[in-house]
Structure formats: structure tokens, C-alpha cells
Structure 1
Amino acid sequence: MTAGAITVDTPDGARLAVRRDGQGPDLLLVSGLGGTAGFWAPALPALARAHRVTRFDQRGIGASGRGTAPCDIDRLAQDCLAVMDALGIATAVLVGHSTGGAIGQALARLAPDRLRGLVLSATWLKPSRYMAALFGARRRILDSDPVAYAATGTLMGYTPSWLDANWATFEAATAQAPVSEEARRTVRERIDALLAFDGSASVAAIRCPVLVPGARDDLIVPAFLQEELAAALPPERRVVTYPEGGHFFPVTRTPDFTRDLLAFAGSLA
């Protein structure tokens, strides 16, 4: 297994902190609103045994610089292309969770020839009243009490029993709350970006194979939104719905998630 930390510079000055692990066909892992490469840590050992896995902190998050360009979903998709180009990745299976799935849909429109497959995990197709109300409320909490913002997002994102048994996850999330004005500004623009995303005009044209994993008890991207996305995709798409797992089921159901992801990626070889 090979491993390493790499930096990739974008034209507008964002320096992206990238990590690569393993060997084999390329997987590009793109996380959600939090935007960190670390989200994928529980899944990494299983995935890196069969694949070369690339993951990165998104612009303005973790060890990555913000750059000067406006931040929207297309910009974040272009950052994925910048990483692929810099690392010589001709094609990859992109695994996008939540906002990462919106980024994946945008990349499928912008550069369809770069994707061998697409995993749209806990993802939606277009804005809904539920998401507008939820993230509008979260944005107001962010402005008034960033620690409460981190706490409520964590409480909503994991199943209660899993979180209670893994309480260090809650403590870490609140300790890393976006308390600085710069951090809050980055979260605000990312919330605005995800709420502005609408993939309905291009989703039916996605050419690569698609896997749509979701969870019935997801409170952040509820199952009805995942079902709406699946229905709009070409009929060859594959759907996996876990009976429980919360929004962060790649963490709470890691063995199931990695099993299904590896089976999908393996079928594309």
C-alpha cells in the first residue's frame, strides 16, 4: 500500500490538501457539508485494499486554503477535476456523500468522460422545502451559537444509539465547532451552495453507472429525497437502502457501506 499527503493548487489560489492510499482502480472520495477528508477514515482500510483512494479537504476546510473564487457546487466539482489532473487520474469512480453527491452530479455534467462510475450517497436532486427550512435554521444557529450548530448537526447526523456508544465523536465535533468568523463564513457559503444546487436538468443524461445508497432514518437528506433522485436517474442505476444508519451511515454502517461500494466498483472493472 502506498500513502502520502499531497497539495494541489487551483487557478484561484486554493491549495487543496490531498491524501492517497492503496493501489488499484481509482476511487475519488468527496465528503459532505463538513468537507473533510477525515470523514472517510472508517471506510479507508477496506477500500484501500482494492483501490487507489484519493480524498481531500475541500477549499477553506481543514488543511486546505480557501482561494478567491466564489464557492458553488460547480466550483467544488472543478476542484475535483484539479485534483484528478494534478495526480494523473484519467478516470475514477467518484463517491460523493451528501453535498459530495451534488458535487458528483455536477462533475458528471462538466466532465462525463472522467467518471467510470458515480456513487450518490445520502444525496438529493434539487432544492426542497424541507432542506430549505432545515438548513435555514442551521444557518441561523451557526450565526448565534456555533457550538450549538456543531452539536445539533452531530445529533441529527448519527443514530442515537451509535452516537451514545461513540460519544467521543460528539465531543470532537463540538470541540471543532466553527467559532471564528472565517470558519462561519466558509460554512455559510457552503450552505448557500448546497441549497442553490439543482441537478434536475442534467441528471437523466448521466452516462456512467450509478449507485444510490441511502438510509430510511436519515433526518438531513430524508429517504423521500433520495428516492426522488433515484427515480430521475437512468433506469440502470442501483439503489441500496439501509433500514437504519442515519445520515452518516458510511460511519455508522461502515461494513455494509464498504461491502456495497466495493461490489459496485468491482462490477465496473
Structure 2
Amino acid sequence: MSVDQAVTPMMQKLNARVLGSGSQTLVMAHGFGCDQRIWQKLLPQLQSLPLKLVLFDYAGCGGSQVDEDAIADYPDLQAYADDLLALLAELQLSSVLLLAHSISSAIGMLAAIRQPQRFKKVLAITPSARYQNAPDYYGGFDTADIEQLLQLMAQNQFGWAGILAPKVLDEPENSVVSQQLTQSFLSNNPAFSRHFARLVFYVDIRAALPQVPIPVTIFYTKADMIVPQQAIDYLVAKLPQARAVLLNVRGHYPQLCQPQLLAEQIKRELGYGVV
């Protein structure tokens, strides 16, 4: 944390940290089943840049000071977006760059619609507007698939993580990154994780996409079982200002599998080139 940064109530609630300094602020928002530690491999690359970095944990994740009694306060993704906006307000930040992984891309877009002055651009890593298939839309999951995952999470509090992690990474079960992601999944409050999972997999922000007032750069990967190519194409078609960049990475978590490659793309996007 910056030496002159006082801890605000939202910083404490969301276990937020402010690192470094610079004219630009990059807010790093993790996805489902994770917390700010998911960025550890990427941080050394970003800390070499003249950036102020803001990291945090969503309610129920990592070191957030929110217990499962507060689940009712989070009926939809907008509640998570409102927490993000409250954090930025307390830190007196505007025109930030948002590095958002997976569902955080949707959360960030909702936040930008509500308070556009807070954001300059979203850098969306493996995003989607909707994960559930519909007659006119392919998101990658049938309702039966989603219910099976939610049932597994309810019945086997620990086993689901070891099953899901290697699949979303497209890695062997015994790989280092699979084990890292499994532990990340298990570090969050189980009741909050089940609640968040239901919100994530049944989310649908398609109608909101034309209202997103800022540019969105989409980083997507190969063999992503969570986000098919059709979902990326849909975002590019419906967002007012969007472009997509294909990373030569497999799976849903390039920040774990190829952090150097992702860092190079982020640097280009922020105008720093490749160092």
C-alpha cells in the first residue's frame, strides 16, 4: 500500500490495496472463485510501469470483511458493481483503467453505465455477456449444465474445485496452475461462492451492452470452455466501442498460464509498448 494511503471503510471491507503511483490508475478486478491473489504472476510486470494499481476482493472472496449473513445484500451483479463504485469514490478515483477478468467484465460494464466518469476503459479478459444458451444465443452452457455445477458445489464443498479447475484451465489435474486455482476456489466463503456462482452463470447483460459508454478491449483465448468464440463475437458486435485481441493461450486464465504474454498485451494497450 502507498505510504500516504489511509484505509477507508470500503478498503477494509474489500481488503483493498493501493500499490505504486502514476498518472494512470489500473484497477484489477478478479473473477468468480478467486481473489486478488490471482494477479500475483502479473503484478511484477505491471509494477514496473508508472501506474497506480488498485487490488481488492469482492464480498465473500479472499480477505473481504463480509460474511455469509450479508448474502442478501447481493441479489444481483449490480450490488457488486456498486461496491466497486463505492471503493473508487472513497479513493477519489476517476477515469481509471479497469483490468477485469471474466465476470468482472460484466460488473465493470454495469458500473461504467451507472457512473461513466469513474472509468476510462475496460480491459476485459475472457468476458461474456451471458453464459447460458438461449434460442438466439450461444453462451456455452445449457441450463442442465449450470444446475449440475451448482448441485456439485452444494453437495461436495471441496471436490467441485478440483474437478472444475483443470477443465477451465485446459490443464492436467496435477499441474501446478490447476492446484493453484483449486486452492483459490477453496479459499472463498462456500455459501458466498455458491451464491455468486448462481448469479454468474445466470447473468444476462446483453440488453445493457449498447449503453456501455467507454471503450472495451477484449482479450480472449483458445480452448476456453467458459467463453466460446460466439460469445466474444457477440460482445464485439453489440458494444459501441469494442475490439478483440486473441491471445496465444489455452483456457480461461491467461494471467495464470501465460502472465508474460498477457502483460505484453496490457502494456501495448496502455501505451507503454513492450519493455
TM interval, shorter chain, is 0.7 to 0.9
TM-score (norm 1): 0.85
Q: Give the share of equivalent positions with the same residue, in percent.
A: 21
Look up the equivalent residue of 2:220 and give its one-letter code: G
Aligned pairs for 1:150-229 within 5 A = 150-160=161-171, 167-175=175-183, 178=186, 183-229=189-235
* 1:100-127: CA deviation from partner (whole Å, max 9, x where unpaired): 1111111121111211111121111134
Q: Which of 121, 125, 144 is equivalent to 1:121?
A: 125
Q: Is the 8 A contact 1:5 1:17 kept in 2?
A: no
2:41 is equivalent to residue 42 of structure 1: yes
Whether 2:88 is the aligned partner of 1:84: answer: yes
* Partner in structure 2 of residue 54 of structure 1: 54
Taking structure 1 as reference, are residues 8 and 36 closer, same or farther at Cα in structure 2, changes over 3 Å only? farther
Mapped contact 2:210–2:238 kept (Cα < 8 A): yes
Question: Which 5+ residue runs of structure 2 have no aligned equivalent?
Answer: 134-139
1:47-102 CA-to-partner distances (Å, cap 9, x unmatched) read: 12221111111111111122631242111111111211122212201111111111
* 1:16 paired residue number: 14
Q: Which residue of 1 aligns with 2:266?
A: 261
Residue in 2 aligned with 1:105? 109
| Distance in 2 between residues matched to 1:209 and 1:94, nearest whole Å | 11
Q: 1:122 to 1:150 in 2, by over 3 A?
A: same
Within 1, Cα distance between the matches of 2:3 and 2:229?
A: 36
Q: Partners of 2:221 and 2:189 in 1: how far apart?
A: 29
Q: CA deviation at 1:40?
A: 0.9
Q: Distance in 2 between matches of 1:155 and 1:190?
A: 20
Do 1:6 and 1:17's aligned partners in 2 also have CA atoms closer than 8 Å? no
The one-letter code matched in structure 2 to 1:125 is: A
Cα drift, residue 217 of structure 1: 0.7
1:173 Cα deviation from its structure 2 partner: 4.3
Whether 1:137 aligns to 2:161 is no
Q: Structure 2: how far apart are the matches of 1:74 and 1:115?
A: 16
Shifted more, 19-28 versus 188-197: the winner is 188-197
Distance 1:97 1:266, change over 3 A: same
Aligned residue pair count: 259
TM-score in terms of structure 2 length = 0.84
Give 1:170's aligned amino acid. Answer: S
Q: Which amino acid is the alignment partner of residue 188 of structure 1?
A: R
The amino acid across from 2:58 in the alignment is Q
Shift of 1:242: 2.2
Q: Partners of 1:255 and 1:173 in 2: how far apart?
A: 18
Could you list the per-position Cα deviations for residues 190-213 of structure 1 after superposition, in whole angstroms to 9, with x for gaps in the alignment? 012113422222212322221001
Q: Distance in 2 between matches of 1:100 and 1:176?
A: 16
Change (3 A) 1:246 1:170: closer
CA RMSD of aligned residues (A): 2.7
1:95 aligned residue (88, 92, 99): 99
Instruction: Report if the CA contact (8 A) 1:36-1:62 is conserved.
Output: yes
Check 1:82–1:143 CA distance in 2 against 1; reply closer, same or farther (3 A cut).
Answer: same
- Secondary structure, counterpart of 1:193 in structure 2: helix
Distance 2:166 2:159 in 1: 10
The alpha carbon displacement at 1:137 in A equals: 2.0
Question: Following TM superposition, by how much is the alpha carbon of 1:3 offset from its aligned partner in structure 2, in angstroms?
Answer: 7.2
Gaps of 5+ in 1: none
Amino acid at match of 1:116: K
Task: Kindly state the Cα deviation for residue 157 of structure 1 after the two structures are TM-superposed.
Answer: 2.1
For residues 21-45 of structure 1, what are the alpha-carbon distances to aligned partners after superposition, in whole Å with 9 as ceiling and x for unaligned?
2222101111110240111111111
